[in-house]
Amino acid sequence: MNHRPLWLAAAALALTSCAAPTPSAAPDTLVVAGYGGSYEEAFKQSVIPGFEKSCSCRVTYIAGSSTDTVAKLKAQRAAPQIDVALIDDGVQNQAVEAGLLAPLDPKTVTNLPHVIDLARLPGDVGVGFSLNATGIAYNTDYYAKNGLPAPKRLADLENAKLKGRLVMPSITQTYGLGALLIAARTGGGSEHRIDPGFAGVRRIAANAVTFDTTADVSNYFLQGQAVASVWGNSRVQMLAKKGFPIAFVYPEEGALPLIATVSVVKGAPHAGLAQKFVNALLEPSAQQAMAASNYNGPAVKGVQLPPELAAKVVTQERAAELRKLDWAAINKSRSAWTDRWNKEIEST
């Protein structure tokens, strides 16, 4: 599929992002800190140019992980240098608790009412702008050649035929935490009763060849070290796009939402411009561009995608099946969970 027309269409968001540009000898520079890889590429090709033109400004993009971005915000608390932060929903909650982010202005972020409930955040301190899901990734060729049925639930990763062929994500990153929460739900628990999660992960971890801390297990699959993992849908689709035999499974016990959020930094040097940038990301054209470039589903109601693309992303229908997580409770317990994971899972 040629997604270039969607990227070009994203330039249309410029028409509604800002008022008519005012000539300036020294245009403002908006600093955006966000994801690297396909996200950075999509932003630089399909979002930033149109925004710069319509707002008569410049945008500097700083790539880094969510935890890296929040670390920068903490270090700059007294004199913020970043205007907009793109971070995962769980880490975003930590930034909110630390008082690093500002509420959105509904008069500027006029697209906010069109965002689906799953992507709305408490007090509208930031908002989700694209959707992903944590589930099961598996090598379709390996499974077929070895007579393994496609996995349907997390417990299927306990199969003895996967011994030494499974890469488990560490709890230090989002997918490892996702595995723990899915296992907890399977055993009748939740983020508020985590013991079943540890019991379930312990059984699966017996097959693990390693515990990945990077959130990107592509090389393990490509080199044949892994044939299954707990991973994100968009990452699986990006690897499949290159021709690798891999598929994503929404487990029967329920996949977990992974929401990319955009927030205005508290005390941002260009707060007004930052609010306009948030609104720009919620434009239908920008939502289409994000889906086309990195397989992240739209967070805005009514965004239309070509059928072939819609089949590969977390659509509005899929999103309705995902449950909101209590990130305040999770983050409160995460340090203790990490200590327990290190003792009970990775040390055995």
Q: Give the residue extent of every domain in the chain.
A: 4-131+257-321, 133-256+326-344
pLDDT exceeds 60 at position 283 = yes
Please name the residue that has the structure tokens 């955009």. Answer: 262
Residue 150 CB partners (closer than 8 Å, separation 6+): 138, 140, 143, 247, 249
What is the average pLDDT across 53-80? Answer: 94
Output the CATH code of domain 133-256+326-344.
Answer: 3.40.190.10
- Averaged pLDDT score across all residues of the chain: 90
Predicted pLDDT of residue 17 = 55
Examine the pLDDT at 133 and tell me if it is beyond 80.
yes
Give the model confidence (pLDDT) of 216-260 as tens digits: 899 999 999 999 999 999 999 999 999 999 999 999 998 999 999
Counting Cα atoms < 13 Å in the Cβ hemisphere of 52 gives 16
Q: From 3.40.50.12780, 3.20.20.70, 3.40.190.10, 3.30.360.10, which CATH number describes the 4-131+257-321 domain?
A: 3.40.190.10
Mean pLDDT, rounded, for 325-342 = 95
Which pLDDT score, from 0 to 100, does residue 8 have? 39
Pure H helices in the chain:
4-9, 14-17, 37-42, 48-55, 66-75, 89-97, 140-145, 174-186, 195-205, 218-222, 233-241, 271-281, 284-294, 307-310, 316-321, 327-344
Percent of the chain with pLDDT over 90: 79
Q: Give the residue among 173, 227, 199, 212 at the shortest CA–CA distance from 344.
A: 199
| Confidence class for position 5, pLDDT limits 50, 70, 90 | very low
As given in the structure block, the two tokens for residue 257 are 């939402």
Q: What is the mean pLDDT of residues 338-343?
A: 96
Comparing CA positions, the residue from 207, 199, 196, 228 lying closest to residue 158 is 207
Q: How far apart are CA 101 and CA 73, in angstroms?
A: 9
Whether pLDDT at 200 is above 70 = yes
The residue behind tokens 């399909």 is: 46
CB 94 within 8 A of CB 102: no
How much is the pLDDT for 26? 60
Burial of 162 (0-12, 13-18, 19+ CB in 10 A): buried
φ/ψ of 339, rounded to 5, equals -60, -45
pLDDT tens profile 69-89: 999 999 999 999 999 999 999
| CATH topology agreement for domains 4-131+257-321 and 133-256+326-344 | yes
φ, ψ (nearest 5 deg) of residue 242: -85, 5
How would you class 16 by CB atoms within 10 Å of its CB: exposed for 0-12, middle for 13-18, buried for 19 or more?
Answer: middle
Instruction: Say how far apart CA 229 and CA 166 lie, in whole Å.
Output: 6
What pLDDT, in 10s, does the model give residues 167-194?
999 998 889 999 999 999 999 999 999 9
- Looking at residue 323, what is its pLDDT? 83
